[in-house]
Amino acid sequence: MEGKVALVTGAAGGIGESVVRTLAERGVTVAAVDKDAVRLRACVEKFTADGLPVAAFPGDVTSSPDVESFVDAVERTLGPLDYLVNAAGVLRLSEARRLTDEDWKFTFAVNTSGVFFVSRAVVNRMVPRGSGAVVTVASNAAGTARVEMAAYSASKAAATMFTKCLGLEVAKYGIRCNLVAPGSTETPMLSDMWKDEAAARKASIEGVASSFRVGIPLRKLARPENVAQAVVFLLSDAASHITMHDLTVDGGAALGV
């Protein structure tokens, strides 16, 4: 992977930040994209201090013009993109019947439209070159119903099927499109769900019968690097004959379904 160029969205924290580091440690030059310019600069400063080839490109994945602008800037600055990782994501918790219009629109704007805008912009540049790899970070909730996660689950299900359809269409150009579906992972998104961290951590692992949640058979939460390693595998030549695949990284929480 050394010498390749990647764009990673949601790069200022959580899984996206871990993907950036994991790629850069393998010699990939990484364009780190996030809407939070302050946090993004802080992350990139850490990476560059460690001698890693990472550059910050603040941008909003929910804006099609902004996406076209930062993708152009990345290719002008770093060179043609070989890899794309869609890792930007948001979570709004609510019972489905109590979701607000804004909850629904914002969740889909980031988790679904963001994947569409960025994938379209990058893949349209990959097609004439006849190569490339895309990984969308989805969720095991895309295929498993979760209490108070209707908007999130629906948005991730839409992003999942979009990525698979895109992969089918661009396979003839030598472009692979895959997904990684994490379960509960130690990130700010997960910790923000917890009022009592110790109790909620225990509940995530052991399950909650009243919420029809079975827990995690491997008895531990994922670390962001666990997900990042799966992403990097699917981008790499080791996965050169894999496309339209959804790789679940959840410790067995979805029972292999």
Q: Which residues are catalytic?
A: 152
The Cα–Cα gap between 196 and 179 comes to: 31
DSSP code of residue 47: H
- Judge contact between 220 and 187, C-beta under 8 A: no
Backbone angles phi, psi at 254, to 5 degrees: -95, 10
Q: Which residues pair with 182 in a beta bridge?
A: 249
- Judge contact between 164 and 201, C-beta under 8 A: no
**Amino acid, res. 168:** L
Edge to edge, what strands does the sheet with 246-249 contain?
Answer: 54-58, 29-34, 5-9, 83-86, 132-137, 175-182, 246-249
Residue 225 tokens read as 């690097």
Q: Which residues pair with 84 in a beta bridge?
A: 7, 134
Backbone angles phi, psi at 156, to 5 degrees: -75, -35
